[in-house]
C-alpha cells in the first residue's frame, strides 16, 4: 500500500483517479480547494477507510508524508481558468513548486498533469511531444497555457538540479461522468443544451476539430505513466480519433433525441482550430492506447447527466 496525494482530487479527472487508486488498495489523500471540485464527485469515497480529504489550496505549502503525488490541481476549462487568470497562473506555478518541494522532501515520485494547451493553436498536425507549440503569451488563454508550460519547466529543472523523480503527461480533451454541467467544455455544453432542448451553441463555423478521450482511458494512462520506472515524459495522453465540433453536436442531438437547433457564434480568441494527439510514444513507452469509442463514451456521459439531474427526456436544469 502506498500513500498517494492527489491534488485537485475532487475535480473531474481527479475524482476518477482517487477511486481507481482506492480500488488498488492504496491510501489516498485528496487535496482540493473546491474551486471547481465538488463534494458529489468524492462522496462515495468517504466510505473507504483509506480515503482522506483535505480542503486546502495548492498555492500554499504542503507538509505530508507521501510516496507518490499526482498534481491535477488547476481549473481546466476556459470559463473557469479565465474567471481569475492571475489565480490560474499562480496555481500552475506555485502549485508545481509546492508539490515538487514535497516530492523532494519525501523522495516521492510526482506526476504533473500538463495539457495539450502547451501546443497552443498548433501549426503541425497531429501534435507530437517534440512540437514546441504556437502559444500567444499575452492572450486570454495564456494564464493556463503558459502556466502549464512553466510548470513543465519547473518539473524538469527539479529533475536536473535535485534529482526529483518526475513524470509529465500532456492531457488532451477528456470527457465523461463527473464533468460539471456549467464548465464550458464542448461535450458537457452540448449534452446539457440537448437534454434541455435548447439551442446548441457552436463557436466558429463548426469545422474545427477535437479528439475526445474517455476519462477511464485517461486514468489508465496516468497510472501507467506513474508506474513506469524508466521514462519521465513528456507524453501525450489522448484519443487520436478526430471529429469536427459540428459532427459532435449532431451525434449528441441524435443520441439524446433532442429538438435542439444549432446556432453559431464567433470563435473566441486563440481557440485552436485543430487538436489531435500523436500517441506513438505512449504506445511504445507505456503500452497504452484508448479503448472506449466516442459512441460508447458519449452514451455513458449522457446517462450520467440524466441521472445527476433526474432527467426523463428533456427537462430544464434550471
Q: How far, in Å, CA of 282 to CA of 275, rounded?
A: 17
Within 10 A of 55 (CB to CB), how many other CB atoms are there? Answer: 12
Measuring CA to CA, how many Å separate 212 from each of 88, 187, 191, 232? 24, 9, 14, 24
CA dihedral 3, 5, 9, 12 (to 10 degrees): -90
267's grid cell: 470563435
Phi and psi at residue 30, to the nearest 5°: -95, 115
| Pairing state between β 242-244 and 166-171 | unpaired
Report the C-alpha gap between 30 and 44 in whole angstroms. 13
What SS3 state is found at 31? strand
At 218, list the grid cell. Answer: 485517461
Strand partners, 209: 244
Is 144 labeled as catalytic in the residue annotation? Answer: yes
Catalytic residue among 144, 158, 214, 246: 144
Q: Which residues are catalytic?
A: 144
Amino acid at each position: 500500500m502506498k500513500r498517494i496525494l492527489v491534488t485537485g482530487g475532487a475535480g473531474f479527472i481527479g475524482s476518477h483517479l482517487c477511486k481507481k487508486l482506492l480500488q488498488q488498495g492504496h491510501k489516498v489523500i485528496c487535496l482540493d480547494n473546491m474551486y471547481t471540485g465538488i463534494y458529489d464527485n468524492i462522496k462515495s469515497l468517504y466510505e473507504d477507510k483509506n480515503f482522506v480529504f483535505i480542503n486546502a489550496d495548492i498555492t500554499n505549502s504542503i507538509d505530508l508524508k507521501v510516496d507518490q503525488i499526482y498534481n491535477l490541481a488547476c481549473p481546466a476549462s476556459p470559463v473557469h481558468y479565465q474567471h481569475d487568470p492571475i489565480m490560474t497562473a499562480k496555481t500552475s506555478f506555485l502549485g508545481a513548486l509546492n508539490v515538487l518541494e514535497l516530492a523532494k522532501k519525501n523522495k516521492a515520485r510526482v506526476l504533473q498533469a500538463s495539457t495539450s494547451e502547451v501546443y497552443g493553436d498548433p501549426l503541425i498536425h497531429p501534435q507530437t511531444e517534440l512540437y514546441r507549440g504556437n502559444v500567444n503569451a499575452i492572450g486570454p488563454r495564456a494564464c493556463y497555457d503558459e502556466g502549464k508550460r512553466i510548470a513543465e519547466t519547473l518539473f524538469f529543472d527539479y529533475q536536473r538540479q535535485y534529482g526529483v523523480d518526475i513524470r509529465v503527461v500532456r492531457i488532451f480533451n477528456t470527457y465523461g461522468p463527473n464533468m460539471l454541467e456549467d464548465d464550458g467544455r464542448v461535450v458537457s455544453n452540448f449534452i446539457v443544451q440537448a437534454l434541455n432542448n435548447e439551442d446548441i451553441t457552436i463557436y466558429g463555423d463548426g469545422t474545427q476539430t477535437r479528439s475526445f478521450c474517455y476519462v477511464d482511458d485517461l486514468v489508465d494512462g496516468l497510472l501507467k505513466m506513474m508506474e513506469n520506472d524508466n521514462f519521465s515524459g513528456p507524453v501525450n495522453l489522448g484519443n487520436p480519433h478526430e471529429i469536427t465540433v459540428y459532427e459532435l453536436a449532431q451525434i449528441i442531438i441524435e443520441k439524446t433525441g433532442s429538438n435542439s437547433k444549432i446556432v453559431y457564434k464567433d470563435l473566441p480568441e486563440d481557440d485552436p482550430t485543430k487538436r489531435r494527439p500523436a500517441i506513438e510514444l505512449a504506445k511504445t513507452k507505456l503500452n497504452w492506447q484508448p479503448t472506449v469509442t466516442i459512441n460508447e463514451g458519449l452514451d455513458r456521459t449522457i446517462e450520467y447527466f440524466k441521472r445527476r439531474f433526474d432527467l426523463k427526456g428533456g427537462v430544464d436544469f434550471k
